[in-house]
């Protein structure tokens, strides 16, 4: 066993033992503890748990990989996800907490005085959450398959078992305190390697500042900034300039950002966290603390992405472009390269038989002609999965084994924390909203708690199956989940709080129209949606010529939301207004006085 293996098993094993220990200590004894942790979580603790719940495998593993390969264009994820959280904190969380219900479908059902609205909300919630949880399962499988050297399937089963123990046993109470521990693991795992790498490349210990600092090579200042150096490296190899790349046209960038933003505000597993604090004021404080905790990772991500791309290119392109010794010999490739090849997430093909690795943009006709004059026969890095960049970055940079092990534990913590929150949202929708709310309203609290745990187990098994056999339209991305939440739940929540005149007919029609349009668009374009070996769309490959106004399927949630709002408003104007007591309830929830009275808290 190598030192890296020892560190990895030790660190990951210790964190798993911590999570299970917390679950046993914080096991739920009532439905209130299972659904909302008893409503007594401190705002700072809840802010930390919210940060862990929010920062999924997509944030920890995938986002920096997207930034590494899409440059400035990937800023849509930073702006959309963080901006959406601000939107959630200001416009939704305090009012939903004041309403005092356990779940998002329960709020929609009561606000729109309709079991039909509640059922439609449950369906939308499950579709969005299941799509999202597939990405977490992939993150678990990727991390385990590389660092514990087990098959992807085995890693996924281990992750499912860990989630089952602390989520089923503890419910929201167990998940909350486990997520606090997971946040600590996650943020150290993300920032510590970033500090080391920033010091190596710029001499600046703060990655956020290192990104704009002077590039240092072999301890010698080069006189150019790190970003200028990265631009030079990638453009010399035919790739687009790192700092000017875009995700399609300006309209697509706007729609993408908006879809992620309002999708964030509509994601039920994040919203439910604000039901766990004692008062409305605590919900606001909790949101503020969560934003601080989230910002620690999100402000570091651009530096991690840029530095990972530079380290990768410098590892392969070791000399002047076009020279005989300019490219790394395949037989001399480093150990990290060999290990990732074993996972299938990194693949090389010696197209010209020279035994060296040529990594360049052969899709650029001008550079392809130049490359041919060097004797190159095409890009030989036939697969570089974006999801490996954060996990491989410390190895590429030659950091100590304990730092690499910490990153593994962080990636697993990110995937496990969000998976647990999503699975609880699905479980609550089934046991509390469908079973107690619609089918068996007189069920006892003990039986409802049991139903919640059984629902959680079923949800874990379904999520595991989809992690092993992902559907084509959602195999590589969680962006679709945000689109589904944006087009269905967000408009219903917004109009439920701020539109007194919105009635049940309008809300139901809007949700159905919004999610239907979005799903149809995604399925219609699934054949051109993904690039093999990547997690997200690569617009620079010239795909998507038949997109609606150039808007990609990832970004179409914004259009779905517009359809939802439009249909809901038209239908509401053509049908009877909501009962007077519902209109008064909406006004009471929105007015700051009497915090918590609507829900008896």
pLDDT above 80 (res 537): no
Residue 323 main-chain phi, psi, to 5 deg: -80, 160
Using pLDDT thresholds of 50, 70 and 90, give the confidence band for residue 471: low
Residue 527 DSSP class? G
Distance CA 132, CA 53 (A): 12
Question: Region 83-97: what's the mean pLDDT?
Answer: 81
Looking at the DSSP bridge assignments, the partners of residue 252 are: none
Look up tokens 């660190």; give the residue: 11
Compute the radius of gyration of the chain from its Cα atoms: 24
Using pLDDT thresholds of 50, 70 and 90, give the confidence band for residue 536: very low
Question: Region 96-100: what's the mean pLDDT?
Answer: 77
Distance CA 439, CA 143 (A): 41
Using pLDDT thresholds of 50, 70 and 90, give the confidence band for residue 16: confident
Whole-number percent of the chain with pLDDT over 90 = 14
Q: Per-residue pLDDT tens for 193-237?
A: 899 899 989 989 999 998 889 998 877 888 889 999 999 988 988
| pLDDT at residue number 472 | 44
Using pLDDT thresholds of 50, 70 and 90, give the confidence band for residue 131: confident
Using pLDDT thresholds of 50, 70 and 90, give the confidence band for residue 540: very low
Q: Per-residue pLDDT tens for 276-301?
A: 777 777 877 888 888 888 888 888 98
pLDDT above 60 (res 538): no
Whole-number percent of the chain with pLDDT over 70 = 87
Report yes or no: 559 and 496 within 8 Å, Cβ to Cβ: no
Question: Region 363-391: what's the mean pLDDT?
Answer: 86
Q: Per-residue pLDDT tens for 436-453?
A: 777 887 788 778 778 878
Residues in CB range of 220: below 8 A, 6 or more apart: none
Coil, helix or strand at residue 224: strand
| pLDDT at residue number 517 | 92
pLDDT above 60 (res 530): no
Nearest to 256 by CA among 535, 553, 562: 553
| pLDDT at residue number 566 | 96
User: What is the domain partition of the chain in residue ranges?
Assistant: 3-308+396-475
Nearest to 518 by CA among 263, 188, 220: 263
Using pLDDT thresholds of 50, 70 and 90, give the confidence band for residue 185: confident
| pLDDT at residue number 198 | 92
| pLDDT at residue number 544 | 52
pLDDT above 90 (res 515): yes
User: What token pair was written down for 487?
Assistant: 């087009």
pLDDT above 90 (res 560): yes
pLDDT above 80 (res 601): no
| pLDDT at residue number 503 | 94
pLDDT above 90 (res 404): no
Top-level class of domain 3-308+396-475: mainly alpha
| pLDDT at residue number 394 | 85
- CA trace torsion 459, 487, 269, 45 (10° rounding): 170
pLDDT above 60 (res 364): yes
pLDDT above 70 (res 37): no
pLDDT above 60 (res 557): yes
User: What token pair was written down for 124?
Assistant: 């939308």
Q: Per-residue pLDDT tens for 578-591?
A: 999 888 888 877 77
How many residues are present in the chain? 601
| pLDDT at residue number 7 | 78
Looking at the DSSP bridge assignments, the partners of residue 220 are: 217
| pLDDT at residue number 228 | 92
Measured N-to-C along each axis, helices 115-147 and 389-396 cross at an angle, to the nearest 10 degrees, of 20
pTM metric for this prediction: 0.79
pLDDT above 90 (res 34): no
Question: Region 355-372: what's the mean pLDDT?
Answer: 88
| pLDDT at residue number 1 | 65
Residues in CB range of 527: below 8 A, 6 or more apart: none
| pLDDT at residue number 195 | 92
CA 544 to chain centre: 24
User: What token pair was written down for 62?
Assistant: 């995938």
């Amino acid at each position: 066993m190598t030192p890296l293996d020892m560190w990895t098993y030790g660190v990951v094993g210790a964190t798993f033992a911590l999570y299970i220990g917390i679950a046993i200590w914080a096991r739920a004894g009532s439905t209130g503890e299972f659904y909302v942790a008893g409503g007594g979580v401190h705002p700072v603790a809840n802010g930390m748990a919210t940060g862990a719940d929010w920062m999924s495998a997509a944030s920890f593993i995938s986002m920096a990989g997207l930034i590494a390969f899409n440059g400035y264009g990937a800023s849509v994820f930073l702006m959309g996800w963080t901006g959406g959280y601000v939107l959630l904190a200001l416009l939704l969380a305090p009012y939903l907490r004041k309403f005092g219900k356990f779940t998002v479908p329960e709020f929609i059902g009561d606000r729109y005085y309709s079991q039909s609205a509640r059922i439609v909300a449950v369906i939308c919630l499950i579709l969005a959450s299941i799509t999202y949880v597939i990405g977490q399962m992939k993150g678990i499988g990727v991390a385990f398959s590389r660092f514990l050297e087990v098959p992807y399937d085995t890693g996924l089963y281990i992750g499912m078992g860990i989630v089952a123990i602390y989520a089923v046993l503890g419910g929201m109470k167990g998940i909350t305190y486990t997520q606090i521990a997971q946040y600590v693991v996650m943020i150290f795992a993300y920032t510590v390697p970033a500090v080391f790498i920033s010091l190596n490349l710029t001499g600046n210990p703060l990655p956020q500042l290192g990104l704009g600092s002077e590039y240092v090579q072999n301890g010698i200042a080069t006189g150019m900034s790190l970003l200028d150096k990265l631009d030079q490296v990638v453009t010399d190899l035919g790739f687009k300039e790192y700092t000017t790349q875009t995700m399609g046209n300006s309209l697509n960038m706007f729609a993408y950002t908006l879809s992620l933003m309002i999708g964030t505000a509509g994601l039920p597993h994040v919203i439910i966290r604000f039901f766990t604090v004692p008062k409305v004021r605590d919900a606001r404080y909790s949101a503020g603390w969560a934003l601080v905790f989230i910002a620690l990772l999100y402000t570091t991500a651009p530096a991690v992405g840029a530095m990972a791309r530079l380290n990768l290119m410098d590892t392969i392109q070791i000399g002047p472009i076009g020279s005989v010794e300019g490219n790394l010999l395949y037989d001399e490739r480093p150990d990290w390269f060999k290990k990732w090849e074993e996972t299938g997430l990194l693949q090389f093909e010696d197209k010209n038989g020279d035994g060296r690795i040529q990594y360049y943009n052969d899709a650029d006709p001008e550079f392809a002609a130049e490359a041919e004059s060097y004797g190159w026969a095409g890009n030989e890095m036939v697969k570089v999965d974006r999801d490996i960049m954060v996990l491989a970055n410390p190895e590429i940079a030659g950091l100590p084994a304990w730092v690499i092990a910490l990153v593994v534990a962080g990636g697993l913590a990110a995937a496990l924390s969000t998976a647990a929150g999503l699975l609880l949202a699905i479980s609550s929708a089934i046991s509390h909203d469908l079973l107690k709310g619609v089918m068996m309203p007189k069920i006892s609290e003990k039986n409802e708690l049991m139903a919640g745990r059984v629902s959680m187990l079923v949800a874990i098994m379904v999520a595991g199956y989809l992690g092993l056999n992902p559907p084509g339209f959602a195999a590589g991305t969680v962006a679709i989940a945000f689109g589904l939440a944006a087009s269905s739940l967000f408009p219903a929540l917004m109009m439920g709080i701020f539109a007194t005149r919105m009635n049940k007919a309008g809300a139901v029609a809007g949700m159905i129209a919004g999610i239907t349009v979005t799903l149809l668009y995604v399925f219609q374009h699934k054949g051109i949606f993904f690039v093999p070996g990547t997690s997200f769309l690569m617009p620079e490959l010239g795909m998507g010529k038949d997109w609606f106004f150039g808007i990609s399927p990832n970004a179409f949630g914004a259009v779905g939301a517009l359809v939802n709002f439009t249909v809901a408003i038209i239908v509401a104007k053509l049908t009877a207004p909501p009962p007077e007591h519902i209109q008064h309830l909406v006004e009471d929830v929105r007015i700051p006085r009497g915090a918590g009275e609507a829900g008896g808290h």
